[in-house]
């Protein structure tokens, strides 16, 4: 397909044989019989191009490559998916859908430079063609790329643009996801006031059964802890822990709960939560740096300075080994607080903040009634959404 896309039309007759040989046909039959449910129409379109290269259509060939990329992605053949997605974007170079898929797949494999090139193309062509679906997809995908790179200004611009467009032209929960992602990035950069504003916007837009709602609750709880509002964090974290089934994330949430409880002065309850977190960490250590960071601060807030120092050192070691620069950065700051014997933050005064009370009441209500089984599927073209 790369040869076809890069060759001038007048050269294709000599480059591609007019008809496949018997051995080639046998290999194709074997390929179809061996693979698990490949899109046979897409394969046939590609094989037809070899037989009739002069009349092959770039649009249908690009669509066939796109289908094969999605098929490979669903089966976690990641490099194969990238190859087909990039070929689709080369064959039909002004199709924003193909460019956005290539951007997302490269981003998920941490090839950020290639991903950025594809997302730029996706956004530009979608804007030129007034394709609102792909324009939203491009901005949200590009925004998440910038989030992973820690580029706050660019992430804010793309996620806000994608959020506005999604609110106007697509499902509101897409706008909610964008505001949620921006909230998490702002938390990481220490912009807590703006992060809380984004959290409020996200909650108003999230559906009652959205799959990300428990994770959103965990991010909001972390924001509360970092602001010094340990009591309100401790009020929502037990529900978050109960709802999240992913073992490594649940372990981190247990550790965060221990941190909130210690900050709220409930030391005995914090010890119980810490013990549960350590038991789970022994089996599920995918988020060990984050979990130990929470546990280290839990010990600091409880006044157990030796344990806090030991746990923070282990968190930094785990973060360095995992190349988790974000957690390593926060752990270094925590080590300074531990060695300075810094006390807990003062709880923020929210008594006159009616907006916060409404936000917190709605958050608790949404978490207490959340059930993914009631979620409704999105309608096309949003039903297979991925940014």
Three-state SS for 25-85 is HHHHHHHHHHCCCCCHHHHHHHHHHHHCCCCCCHHHHHHHHHHHHHHHHHCCCHHHHHHHH
Predicted pLDDT of residue 301: 96
Alpha helix (H) residue ranges in 245-302: 247-263, 267-283, 288-301
* Cα Rg of the chain, angstroms: 25
CB within 8 Å of 310: residues ≥ 6 apart = none
Please, what sign has the CA dihedral across residues 287, 293, 299, 304? positive
Q: How far is CA 113 from CA 2, 107, 117, 174, in A?
A: 21, 8, 7, 25
Residue 244 token pair: 């999240």
Look up residue 194 and give its two tokens. 């703006």
For residues 46 and 336, give the distance between their C-alpha atoms in angstroms, rounded to a whole number: 60
User: Measured between alpha carbons, how far is 58 from 89 in angstroms, rounded to an integer?
Assistant: 10
- pTM attached to this predicted model: 0.80
Residue 35: per-residue pLDDT: 66
Contact (CB, 8 A) for 270 and 298: yes
Structural contact between residues 218 and 240, judged by C-beta atoms closer than 8 angstroms: yes
Cα gap 74→377, rounded to integer Å: 18
Q: How far apart are CA 154 and CA 337, in angstroms?
A: 31
Question: What is the DSSP secondary structure assignment for residue 10, as one 8-state letter?
Answer: G
> Of 166, 161, 177, 96, nearest to 129 (Cα)?
96
pLDDT value, residue 314:
97
- pLDDT tens for the chain, 387 residues: list them: 888 888 888 787 777 766 777 888 888 788 777 766 667 788 878 877 776 767 778 888 899 999 999 998 888 889 999 999 999 999 999 999 999 999 999 998 889 999 999 999 999 999 999 999 999 999 999 999 999 888 999 999 999 999 999 999 988 888 999 999 999 999 999 999 999 999 999 999 998 889 899 999 999 999 999 999 999 999 999 999 999 999 999 999 999 999 999 999 999 999 999 999 999 999 999 999 999 999 999 999 999 999 999 999 999 999 999 888 889 999 999 999 999 998 888 788 786 789 999 999 999 999 999 987 666 677 788 877 777
The pair of structure tokens assigned to 363 is 């958050």
Look-up: residue for tokens 């009616």? 354
DSSP letter, residue 19:
S
Rounded Cα gap, residues 16 and 4, in angstroms: 9
């Amino acid at each position: 397909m790369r040869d076809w896309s890069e060759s001038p039309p007048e050269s294709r007759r000599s480059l591609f044989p007019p008809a496949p040989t018997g051995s080639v046909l046998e290999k194709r039959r074997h390929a179809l019989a061996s693979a698990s449910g490949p899109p046979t129409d897409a394969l046939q379109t590609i094989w037809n191009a070899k037989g009739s290269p002069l009349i092959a259509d770039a649009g249908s060939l690009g669509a066939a490559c796109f289908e094969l990329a999605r098929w490979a992605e669903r089966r976690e053949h990641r490099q194969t998916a990238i190859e087909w997605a990039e070929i689709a974007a080369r064959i039909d170079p002004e199709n924003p859908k193909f460019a956005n898929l290539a951007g997302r797949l490269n981003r998920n494999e941490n090839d950020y430079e290639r991903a950025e090139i594809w997302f730029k193309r996706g956004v530009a062509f979608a804007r030129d063609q007034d394709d609102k679906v792909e324009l939203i997809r491009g901005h949200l995908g590009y925004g998440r790329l910038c989030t992973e790179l820690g580029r706050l200004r660019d992430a804010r611009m793309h996620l806000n643009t994608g959020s506005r467009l999604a609110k106007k032209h697509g499902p509101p929960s897409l706008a909610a996801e964008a505001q949620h992602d921006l909230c998490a990035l702002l938390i990481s950069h220490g912009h807590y006031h703006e992060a809380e504003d984004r959290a409020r916007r996200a909650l108003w837009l999230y559906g009652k059964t959205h799959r990300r709602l428990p994770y959103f609750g965990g991010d909001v709880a972390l924001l509360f802890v970092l602001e010094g509002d340990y009591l309100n964090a401790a009020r929502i974290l037990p529900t978050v822990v109960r709802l999240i089934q992913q073992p490594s994330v649940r372990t981190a949430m247990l550790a965060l709960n221990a941190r909130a409880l210690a900050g709220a002065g409930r030391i005995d309850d914090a010890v119980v939560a810490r013990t549960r977190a350590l038991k789970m960490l022994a089996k599920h250590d995918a988020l060990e740096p984050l979990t130990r960071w929470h546990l280290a601060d839990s010990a600091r807030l409880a006044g157990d300075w030796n344990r806090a120092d030991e746990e923070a050192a282990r968190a930094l070691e785990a973060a360095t080994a995992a190349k988790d620069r974000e957690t390593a950065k926060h752990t270094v700051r925590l080590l300074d607080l531990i060695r300075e014997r810094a006390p807990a933050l003062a709880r923020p005064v929210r008594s006159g903040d009616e907006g916060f009370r409404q936000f917190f009441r709605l958050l608790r209500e949404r978490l207490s009634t959340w059930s993914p089984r009631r979620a409704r599927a999105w309608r096309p073209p949003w039903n297979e959404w991925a940014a």
